[in-house]
Structure 1
Amino acid sequence: MAKSESQIKNTIKFSISIAVITFVLAAIFSVISSSILSGVIWLVGLFIVLIIVLIGIVFDMLGIAATAADEVPFHAMAAEKILGAKQAIQIVRNADKFASFCNDVIGDISGVISGTASAIVVLQLANGFGYGEGSSIQIIISVIMTSLVAALTVGGKALGKYFGIHSSTKIIFFAGKVIAIIEDRFKMKIVSKK
């Protein structure tokens, strides 16, 4: 009983901390994307929206891969001191938290920001062609853009889920390598045993 109470407390603490992190990251990314998009032409804005969608897809795939990966192959790699193997083990051991961060924090923030960013691009596009806000052309462009972003996001995440499940070891090993390089370069710990 005491163990489950401890797990519930840890889960609540994690949930609160992840909510705060999400709030801060969403605010930062929203300000950055809005300020970048306000100073570029609509074509560059469209490219930025696609990058934001791609980031959401990649992080969604990472979260799925973490929950699908098996820890065993990484032990042999860690025994041979292969770069990223220890980090991959920690990712798999903390798959729930890693997936929550990747899928919910980064993935959902990307979805919200891509929607906001696409609205800015629609306004730039409509204004560029001389159509004011609320015009029928602007509404048509908005519907097309929203549908395109939604289709790319859902289709991309479906494809990402396939790769996340069927190539989980390769994906998590790659993520472990990237994390190991960042930890080494910046002398900071991203994944820990806790």
Structure 2
Amino acid sequence: MRWSIFIFAVTFALSCAISITSTTLLEGFAWGAGMLVVFAIILVGIFFDMMGIAAASAVEKPFHAMAAERVHGARHAIYIVRNADKFSNFCNDVIGDIAGVISGTASALVVLKLVNSMFQGHSVLYTIVSVLFTALVSALTVGGKAVGKSFSIHYATEIVLAIGKFFYFLERRCGIRLFNGRKNKSNGKRGSKRAARSNQ
């Protein structure tokens, strides 16, 4: 319940921030530059969707071997895999869905600018352009995520390690620590049970 409330608040805040930013940018750009902004939002959604799928598909074992060899980011990768449900929820549902909604809104603004600059007064052309551009945005989003999912499943270990190295860089170079380093509660329970059996 706490995670649901937290993710609700984060989604609301990010949606407001991204919507305001994208709308402000699109209002100051021509329709051509606006199309680039829409495609950039689509790429962001695909990128985070790939990270969420990779976290859900990866297994811990390779990262334990890397951590034993002191590979940078391996311990962070282990934490990501152990919390794959929350990590993928944030990447796929929060960022991915926000990007999908914002790209739809942004595409509507781009179409409006395009029609006002080139097809003003032609309602039929406005409908055709609107339908085609919306279909293009939807096709790019779904097709890009389909390719990204396949890539993430096959290269889950490499992608999660790259994310772990990024988190390691943030922690070491920028002083931004995203993980508290606490041990899993289940590990602690197992240890207490083993201790009790040995005492008996």
TM over 0.5: yes
Give the equivalent residue in structure 1 for 2:80: 91
Q: Distance in 1 between matches of 2:180 and 2:46?
A: 25
Rounded Cα–Cα distance in structure 2 between residues aligned with 1:151 and 1:163: 18
Matched residues in 2 for 1:83 and 1:113: separation? Answer: 35
Give unpaired runs (5+ residues) of structure 1: 1-11
Runs of 5+ consecutive residues of structure 2 not aligned to the other structure:
183-200
Question: Who is 2:96 aligned against?
Answer: 107
Partner Cα distance (2:171, 2:30) in 1: 37
Over alpha carbons, which structure has the higher Rg? 2
Residue type at the aligned position of 1:171 = I
Asked if 1 retains the 8 angstrom alpha-carbon contact of 2:55 and 2:84, the reply is: yes
C-alpha distance in 2, partners of 1:193/1:64? 23
TM-score under structure 1 normalisation?
0.90
Give yes or no for the alignment of 1:178 onto 2:166.
Answer: yes
Structure 1 residue 40 corresponds to structure 2 residue 33: no
Residue 135 of structure 2: aligned partner: 147
* 1:185 Cα deviation after fit: 2.9
**1:30 and 2:37 correspond:** no
| Contact 1:85–1:177 (Cα < 8 Å) also in 2 | yes
The CA distance in 1 between the partners of 2:11 and 2:63, in whole Å, is 30
Alpha-carbon distance between aligned partners in 2 of 1:60 and 1:39, rounded to the nearest angstrom: 29
Amino acid at match of 1:85: A
Aligned partner of 2:62 in structure 1 is 73
Is 2:190 the counterpart of 1:188? Answer: no
**How far did residue 87 of structure 1 move?**
1.0
Q: Does the alignment pair 1:125 with 2:117?
A: no
* CA distance 1:192–1:156, change in 2 (3 Å): farther
**Aligned residue type for 1:25:** L
- Say if 1:90 and 1:192, in contact at 8 Å, map to a contact too: no
Q: Over residues 101-151 of structure 1, what are the superposed CA-to-partner deviations in whole Å (9 max), with x where a residue is unaligned? A: 00000000000000011111101111111414x822111111011100100
- Three-state SS of the structure 2 residue aligned to 1:19 is helix
**For residues 147-188 of structure 1, what are the alpha-carbon distances to aligned partners after superposition, in whole Å with 9 as ceiling and x for unaligned?**
001000001111111111111001101111112112223212
Matched, 1:116 2:105: yes
Q: How many residues align?
A: 182
Secondary structure of the residue aligned to 1:190 is coil
* Distance in 1 (alpha carbons) for counterparts of 2:166 and 2:140: 26
Structure 1 window deviating more from structure 2 (121-130 vs 30-39): it is 121-130
Ranges of 4+ aligned residues in structure 1 off by more than 4 Å: none
